[in-house]
């Protein structure tokens, strides 16, 4: 498509209303510039930056190279100074919980969840299938951990992905079972 998708023109109508016609005439000589016709995409389209204002209970984020789940959050706006978000996080790898504070407006890498179905166990590996693309993901017994006793064939699960290094593809981690499991 050769047509321009977006144009950057200059100040909007509120600028002209407040600063008068002379200011509008002075700024009317702005040049039009062409913005990219398609958005730039990274190799890891599922991993994206999450603003601290978007952090909620249940959000998965990466902090200091490890995956964490937000257990509690509180958005604090002090009378003096910048706002911040106080959170309580649980590490997916170690299971530890910590309290961490983020400045408002800061960005943290987000983790992605994919809905997969547990299909079968092949030796020491658990096989999960994506129902839309029919691709299989395999996890070792050590990665599944103690949740393997709750897995049943045909059960829907969430697989958590995070990017440890930029050169590698996102690595699957522990399955997080949905509500059919009474103890989780």
What is the domain partition of the chain in residue ranges? 49-109, 112-177
Give the Cα separation of 178 and 184 in Å (integer): 8
Give the model confidence (pLDDT) of 42-85 as tens digits. 333 344 456 666 778 877 777 877 788 889 988 888 888 888 88
Give the Cα separation of 126 and 148 in Å (integer): 9
Identify the CATH assignment for 49-109 out of 2.130.10.10, 2.30.30.30, 1.20.1280.50, 3.30.365.10.
2.30.30.30
Give 88's pLDDT tier (boundaries 50, 70, 90): very high
> For residue 42, what pLDDT is reported?
37
Q: Cβ(46)–Cβ(38) under 8 Å?
A: no
pLDDT greater at residue 52 or residue 144: 144
Give the Cα separation of 126 and 174 in Å (integer): 11
CATH code reported for the domain at 112-177: 2.40.50.140
> For residue 176, what pLDDT is reported?
54
Give the Cα separation of 30 and 23 in Å (integer): 12
Give the Cα separation of 39 and 142 in Å (integer): 39
pTM: 0.48
> For residue 51, what pLDDT is reported?
66
> For residue 80, what pLDDT is reported?
85
pLDDT greater at residue 138 or residue 18: 138
């Amino acid at each position: 498509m050769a047509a321009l998708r977006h144009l950057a023109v200059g100040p909007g109508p509120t600028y002209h209303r407040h600063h008068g016609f002379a200011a509008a005439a002075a700024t009317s000589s702005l040049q039009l510039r062409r913005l990219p016709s398609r958005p730039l995409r990274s190799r890891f389209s599922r991993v994206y930056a999450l603003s601290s204002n978007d952090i909620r209970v249940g959000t998965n984020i990466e902090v200091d190279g490890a995956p964490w789940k937000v257990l509690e959050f509180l958005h604090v706006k002090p009378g003096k100074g910048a706002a911040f978000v106080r959170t309580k996080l649980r590490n997916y790898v170690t299971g530890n919980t910590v309290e961490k504070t983020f400045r408002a407006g800061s960005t943290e890498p987000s983790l992605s969840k994919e809905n997969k179905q547990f299909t079968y166990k092949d030796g020491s590996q658990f096989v999960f299938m994506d129902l839309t693309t029919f691709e299989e993901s395999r996890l070792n017994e050590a990665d599944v951990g103690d949740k393997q006793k709750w897995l049943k064939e045909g059960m829907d699960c969430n697989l958590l992905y995070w990017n440890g290094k930029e050169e590698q593809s996102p690595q699957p981690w522990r399955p997080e079972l949905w509500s059919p499991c009474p103890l989780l």
